[in-house]
Structure 1
Amino acid sequence: MVDFSLYLVTDRTLSLGRSTIDIVRAAVAGGVTCVQLREKKCATRFFIEEARLIKELLTKINPAVPLIINDRLDVALAVGADGVHLGQTDMAAVDARRLIGSSCIMGISVESVADAIRAENEGADYIGISPVFATTTKDDTVEPLGLQGIQAIRAAVSLPLVAIGGITADNTAEVIRAGADGIAVVSAIVGSPSPEDAARALKTQIIASRQHNRASTA
């Protein structure tokens, strides 16, 4: 079973001049459990080469951490990635599933309860709730859903929920307590002076929040 608790989304524009592979290596050392390679403005050949390098790295340092490719189903298939993550304007989930098969992870970004229900019905393996809070790493998002949005989607679907958008070590606890199974972060790790330390701090908050949830329901 995939651990979506601490999900890294890469972004070269925020990396402070460091390579994506170095960011990923440090973040996994700090506790990242899933890596999404997101490249919006590079050539396809570069994207494929970078994805292969990161897949090789993850296989070497922690095979349990899957590589998810953002948007580009062709890149995911070319490198044998573990999964693909699709937005509301990307290829339809049912079409993507036919191409990638049943063993490949498929995540879908949702912006409403209706989106989440549709994603579950169309075969998603997990749902990305976006955005939870205001964020500067994407400029094509709707109004933030907030903690109430997480709660509403949690009540509507049974799939793992990964919350993204403006999440930091300061608000991770409330996001997990609201019903998210994990958090996806970009700048909180990629833009940190120490991606390893940043990942470790986030992981600490996730573990503590899960313990709180278990204790409150016991």
Structure 2
Amino acid sequence: MKEKLELYLVTDSDMLKGRDFYKVIEDSIKGGVTMIQLREKDALGKEFLEKAYNLRKLTKKYNIPLIINDRVDIALLVDADGVHVGQKDIPAKEVRRLIGKDKILGVSARTIEEAMRAKEDGADYLGVGAIFSTTTKLDAKNVKKEEVKKIKEDVGLPMVGIGGLNLGNIQKTFNYGLDGYAVISAILGAEDVYSECIKWNKAIRE
């Protein structure tokens, strides 16, 4: 699980400025992205399902896990590798009951209490943040370094950081205990996504 979390791309079509969604995602995989989460906050059900089916084919081609944000029904329909839920989504315990024991379950957490409950409810990994201020989730509150380290020590689940991460600030997080980095705008906003992912892989493995 830790290896899969290293460079975790979360989708957002708004960042693409007219570029082909699937080409951008494929370029990111070729550049070294290790996991994809389909998270299209403005997409209606039909469009979201279509993207999920197409991404399922693409991720299978490259043997990359596909995680669906929130929509358990769509994850089951396309046989995705797992689901990620936030604190305001379907409770993780109910998601685990729906998807079974073999699928990946990720849960967002920003406190020890939320992280502990996620573990008890069957989470396989935690998405912890916001690490830094972010424009892609305006209601996200920052999590202090000490809290992130304590979550790692006390809960022990694999942990991916999210929120405002970029190549200029990730070195500040190298002692947080993170197992990976969930990135949206810092990759999808780049003109050359493939090259940007190469740079990310070099930075996080130095």
Shift of 1:98: 0.6
For the residues of structure 2 that align with 1:159 and 1:73, how far apart are their CA atoms?
Answer: 22
* 1:125 and 2:124 correspond: yes
Moved over 4 A (4+): none
Runs of at least 5 residues in structure 2 that lack an aligned partner in the other structure: none
In structure 2, C-alpha distance between the alignment counterparts of 1:51 and 1:158, rounded to whole Å: 30
Identify the residue that residue 138 of structure 1 maps to in structure 2.
137
Q: Does 1:193 align with 2:194?
A: no
Instruction: Describe how 1:162-173 pairs up with structure 2 within 5 A.
Output: 162-173=160-171
Cα deviation for residue 15 of structure 1 reads: 1.1
What's the TM-score once normalised by structure 1's chain length?
0.90
Structure 1 CA distance, aligned partners of 2:77 and 2:190?
31
Contact 1:38 1:69 in 2 (8 A): yes
In structure 1, the gaps of 5 or more residues are 209-218
User: Aligned partners of 2:25, 2:82: CA distance in 1, in Å?
Assistant: 17
Q: Which moved more, 1:111-120 or 1:98-107?
A: 111-120
Deviation string for 1:28-86 (max 9, x for gaps)?
Answer: 111100000101122211111111111101111x11x1000011111111111001000
Report whether the alignment pairs 1:148 with 2:149.
no
% identity of equivalent residues: 41
Q: Distance in 2 between matches of 1:113 and 1:16?
A: 38
Contact 1:127–1:159 under 8 Å retained in 2:
yes
Following superposition, the deviation at residue 173 of structure 1 comes to: 2.5
* Residue number in structure 1 paired with 2:9: 8
Q: Following superposition of structure 1 onto structure 2, how do residues 177-216 of structure 1 map, counting pairs within 5 Å? A: 177-208=175-206
Aligned residues: 205
- Which position in structure 1 is the counterpart of 2:58? 57
Structure 1 distance, partners of 2:26, 2:144, is 31
Distance in 1 (alpha carbons) for counterparts of 2:170 and 2:59: 25
